C-alpha cells in the first residue's frame, strides 16, 4: 500500500511511517541507476546503497517518477523497473509537471530529487557529484539546473563535489552568490569528484555528522532564504582516480567534444562516457567509491538530525 493522498507524489509505506515517526530518512537519486551504470550492476548498486542506509539505522528513499507519479521510496519491483526499463527519461525539476501531465516515467537528477525529497519532508540527500557551471560558460552560458534548485531548496546534500568535467571555481563562486552553504567534511579543499581534491579552497570545514546537523538546525533557526547545505565529502585518496590519468583523459575528452560539436545536455554524458572508456572503467569505480561514502555519511547525519 502507498499513501495516495497526493495524486502526483506518493511515499512508500516505509518512508511515510518513518517520516511520521521522526525517524531518519535519506533520499537517493535514481539517475545513477537508469543512466549511470550498465545492467545488471546498476540494480546491484541500487540495492547496495539502500543497504548502506539501513545498516546505519536509517530508511532509504530512492526517488523516481513512474507513470507520472513521483515515487518517494521504491519497492523491489519499482527499483527493478528503473534499472531495466528501456527509454526511461532523465528528469530535472522543470520536467516534473510535464511528466505528471503526460504520465511519463523517468529517473530523477539532483535537482528533481532535491525538490521531491524536500517536498516529501526529507532533509538529507546522498549523491555522487553535483552539476554546475560548464567550462566555456562565457560563450554558451551552460549551467546545471542543480544550482538554481539548491539555491531555493532547504535540503542537505552529501556529495563528492561537482563533476570534474565542469568549471569548479566558477561553480563555487555561483554557489556563494546564490547563498548555498558549502562545508568540507574533514577537508579544507573542495573534492574533485573522481579525485580527493580539486585544489580549490572552501571556507568551512566540519569534523562530524553532529556538526552537520547543528548547521541544519542553525539554518532553520535563522530563517531567511530556503537554500541548501552542501556537505562536500571527498573520495578517499586510496580510492580516487589516478590524477595524471584523470587529467590526460579529460583533456582528450574535451578536445573530442569540441571536434565533434557536442554541446548542451549531450556534453555531460559524452564526457563521462569518454572518461569511463579512457580510464578502463577506473573513473566508474572512483565514482562508486564516492557514492558509497556519501551514502554512509548521509545516513549518519540523518541519525543526528532525527535527535532534534
For residue 183, the domain's CATH number is 3.40.1790.10
Compute the distance between CA of residue 58 and CA of residue 302 in angstroms, rounded to an integer: 7
Same domain as 84, residue 167: no
Same domain as 192, residue 50: no
pLDDT at position 268, please?
A: 76
Same domain as 242, residue 269: yes
pLDDT at position 5, please?
A: 63
pLDDT at position 142, please?
A: 65
Domain of 34?
Answer: 1-122
Annotated binding site for Mn(2+): 142
pLDDT at position 171, please?
A: 94
Paired strand residues for 191: none
**Which of residues 102, 122, 142 is at a domain's end?**
122
Annotated binding site: 90, 110, 142, 144-146
Compute the distance between CA of residue 183 and CA of residue 215 in angstroms, rounded to an integer: 10
Same domain as 183, residue 100: no
- DSSP per residue over 45-61, as a string? HHHHHHHHHHHHT-EEE
Annotated binding site for substrate: 90, 110, 144-146
List of the chain residues with pLDDT < 70: 1-5, 136-142, 265
pTM: 0.94
Compute the distance between CA of residue 144 and CA of residue 207 in angstroms, rounded to an integer: 29
pLDDT at position 180, please?
A: 97
Compute the distance between CA of residue 105 and CA of residue 65 in angstroms, rounded to an integer: 5
The single-letter DSSP state of residue 118 is H
Residue 128 lies in a domain: no
Residue 222: phi and psi, rounded to 5, are -75, -30
**Which of residues 91, 122, 153 is at a domain's end?**
122
pLDDT at position 141, please?
A: 57
Same domain as 141, residue 278: yes
Write out pLDDT tens, residues 44-77: 999 999 999 999 999 999 999 999 999 999 999 9
Residue 127 lies in a domain: no
Instruction: Show which residues are catalytic.
Output: 29, 163
pLDDT at position 120, please?
A: 97
Amino acid at each position: 500500500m502507498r499513501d495516495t493522498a497526493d495524486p502526483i507524489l506518493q511515499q512508500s509505506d516505509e518512508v511515510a511511517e518513518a517520516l511520521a515517526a521522526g525517524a531518519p530518512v535519506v533520499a537517493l537519486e535514481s539517475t545513477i541507476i537508469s543512466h549511470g551504470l550498465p545492467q545488471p550492476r546498476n540494480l546491484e548498486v541500487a540495492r547496495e546503497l539502500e543497504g548502506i542506509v539501513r545498516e546505519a539505522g536509517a530508511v532509504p528513499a530512492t526517488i523516481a517518477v513512474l507513470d507520472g507519479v513521483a515515487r518517494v521510496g521504491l519497492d523491489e519491483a519499482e527499483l527493478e523497473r528503473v534499472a531495466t526499463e528501456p527509454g526511461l527519461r532523465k528528469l530535472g525539476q522543470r520536467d516534473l509537471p510535464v511528466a505528471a501531465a503526460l504520465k511519463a516515467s523517468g529517473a530523477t537528477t539532483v535537482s528533481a530529487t532535491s525538490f521531491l525529497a524536500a517536498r516529501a519532508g526529507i532533509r538529507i540527500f546522498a549523491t555522487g557529484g553535483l552539476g554546475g557551471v560548464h567550462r566555456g560558460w562565457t560563450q554558451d552560458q551552460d549551467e546545471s539546473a542543480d544550482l538554481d534548485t539548491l539555491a531555493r531548496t532547504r535540503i542537505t546534500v552529501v556529495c563528492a563535489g561537482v563533476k570534474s568535467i565542469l568549471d569548479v571555481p566558477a561553480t563555487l563562486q555561483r554557489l556563494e552568490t546564490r547563498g548555498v552553504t558549502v562545508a568540507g567534511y574533514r577537508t579544507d579543499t573542495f573534492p574533485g569528484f573522481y579525485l580527493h581534491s580539486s585544489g580549490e579552497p572552501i571556507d568551512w570545514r566540519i569534523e562530524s555528522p553532529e556538526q552537520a546537523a547543528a548547521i541544519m538546525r542553525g539554518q532553520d533557526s535563522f530563517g531567511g532564504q530556503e537554500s541548501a547545505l552542501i556537505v562536500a565529502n571527498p573520495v578517499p585518496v586510496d580510492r580516487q582516480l589516478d590524477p595524471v590519468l584523470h587529467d590526460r583523459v579529460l583533456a582528450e575528452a574535451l578536445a573530442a567534444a569540441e571536434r565533434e560539436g557536442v554541446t548542451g545536455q549531450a556534453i555531460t554524458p559524452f564526457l563521462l562516457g569518454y572518461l569511463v572508456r579512457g580510464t578502463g572503467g577506473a573513473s566508474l569505480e572512483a565514482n562508486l567509491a564516492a557514492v558509497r561514502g556519501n551514502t554512509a555519511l548521509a545516513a549518519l547525519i540523518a541519525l543526528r538530525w532525527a535527535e532534534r
